[in-house]
Amino acid sequence: MLSKKQARAFFLGGTLVTFLIFIGLTVYSLSSSTDQTNHENLTDSVVRGKEIWESNNCMGCHTILGEGAYYAPELTKVVDRLNIKYGGNGEEVIKSILMSKTPWQPNGRKMVAYGMTEQEATDVVAFFNWIGEIDLNGFDRIVSPLAKDKINK
């Protein structure tokens, strides 16, 4: 029968081994040869876009890379989707929503009117474009049926 000492050894040993493997895999998946985070295309504009994304808690309604609050649309590949819907004017539509001083209410669900400047809206679009180029192991096609159609064409 298992003794308390053996049980403790199982706990401490198992934790140590799995944590070391976890650190190893983290280093492996973020090292330059296996990296797929699209890090090389990060521009100042993308970084500014990310800061705007965070400082307004956009994730509190939307999702991006599948993470967020499920209240408003997923924004991975959003430029692609709106390009198809609005005849190639996806970026302009997004910018007009972000710069609008009155609340945007698609299907009755309200979005805060952020009244961003042209530069801020451009940075957020740059952020969306950067997100859209990440290799997401297939999720990019699933999450965006319209983008999926475009890829299949």
Which residues are near other proteins by CB under 8 A? 2-4, 7-8, 10-11, 14-15, 18-19, 21-22, 25-26, 28-30, 34-39, 42, 46-47, 50, 53-61, 63-74, 103, 106-110, 112, 127, 131, 134-139, 142-143, 145-146, 148-149
> Which run of H or of E encompasses 68?
strand 67-68
In whole angstroms, how far apart are CA 6 and each of 3, 18, 113, 130? 5, 18, 60, 51
> Which run of H or of E encompasses 100?
none
Q: How far is the CB of 60 from other proteins (least distance, A)?
A: 3
If the CB atoms of residues 4 and 101 are measured against other proteins, the closer one turns out to be 4
Indicate the length of the chain as a whole number.
153
If the CB atoms of residues 121 and 136 are measured against other proteins, the closer one turns out to be 136
60 Cβ contact partners less than 8 Å away, ≥ 6 residues apart: 68, 69
Q: How far is the CB of 118 from other proteins (least distance, A)?
A: 20
